[in-house]
A = this chain, B = another copy of it.
Amino acid sequence: MNAFQDDLKYYQQAVNDRMFEFVNKYINPGRVRDAILHSIDAGGKRVRPILLLSTIEAFGADYTRGYAAACAIEMVHTYSLIHDDLPAMDDDDLRRGQPTIHKAFDEATAILAGDALLTLSFQVITEDPSLTSDEKVFLIRELSRASGGSGMVDGQMKDMLSEGKRVVLDELKSIHMNKTGQLLSFSIIAGAFLSHSSTQTFKKMEKMANVLGLIFQIQDDILDVLGDANAIGKPVGSDEGNEKSTYPQLLGVEGAIREMNEYVDIALQSLEKAELNHTFLAALIDFLSTRDR
């Protein structure tokens, strides 16, 4: 295992430990807590919290001050998967190779577990003793903007409404920017903010953050065409079955790969211009654009 893989595992473990700690501390014992622990236990790459923590580390600041925000963003991501998997939405039985919450428990529990996780994401930021009130307010404001009705939820609704319809590339980009991009951007922006970065550096990191969501989504679309169902943990070809517009469908697989690589170049260039130790972050971008699940 190389240094990047070591660091990745280290961050993943740190995030998982805190997630379990927060859930056991702030969610009452019972069925909702069990369902949430099941969904955390199913694993996941923890891309968003790792982006946040490694951004702070890249600035040479104390990344443990990012734990609450890192877990908050992973909680928002996890709640959105629990709700998206529901029969009324994507109707998925498997997630990360495990039965989805409404399969392992039931629909009502899945709805409530998602609601509790979303609520907890804001709570854990307020409960952190290492952050100032100004920092907490900034994090909660940016996280709610990125994840609510002008961010992730808006993108999810518009993604569903676009099924079976022909959408143009700009529309697809705008949907993904809201559905996936804003939350990934939040990770970088929150990390730079907690590191007290200069305005100039902050702007470069913002630019990097903006294209990251597109890189991530295009690779998701490509994996749905070319990927290995076992590695991904859910069936491939589901986008085609759902008649979803995707990058490979609009640009062809090769065109989609080319488009993604252009974004990777933009991200790496922005990163190099920002004055920080970018080794891990550059490797993470490479990892995201070449991952097989």
Using a CB–CB cutoff of 8 Å, the interface residues on chain A facing chain B are 23, 26-28, 30-33, 36, 79-80, 83, 86, 88-89, 106-109, 111-112, 114-120, 122-123, 126-127, 132-134, 136-137, 140-141, 144-145, 147-150, 153-154, 156-158, 160-161, 178
**Chain B CB within 10 Å, residue with most, of A117, A118, A161:** A118
A107-B119 contact, Cβ under 8 Å, with A153-B32, A156-B112: no
Chain B residue with minimal CB distance to A140?
A: B126
Cα A165 to Cα B126 in complex, Å, equals 37
Using Cβ atoms and an 8 Å threshold, which residues of chain B touch A161? 30-31
Given contacts A30-B154, A111-B111, A116-B153, 6 further A-B contacts (CB under 8 A): A26-B149, A30-B158, A108-B160, A109-B157, A119-B144, A122-B140
Q: Is B153 touching A115 in the complex (CB atoms < 8 A)?
A: yes
Using Cβ atoms and an 8 Å threshold, which residues of chain B touch A178? 28
Q: Is A148 touching B123 in the complex (CB atoms < 8 A)?
A: yes
* Majority SS at the chain A contact face: helix
Q: Is A150 touching B26 in the complex (CB atoms < 8 A)?
A: yes
Q: Which of B36, B88, B134, B150 contacts A108 (CB 8 A)?
A: B88
Using Cβ atoms and an 8 Å threshold, which residues of chain B touch A108? 88-89, 157, 160
**Chain B CB within 10 Å, residue with most, of A28, A86, A149, A156:** A149
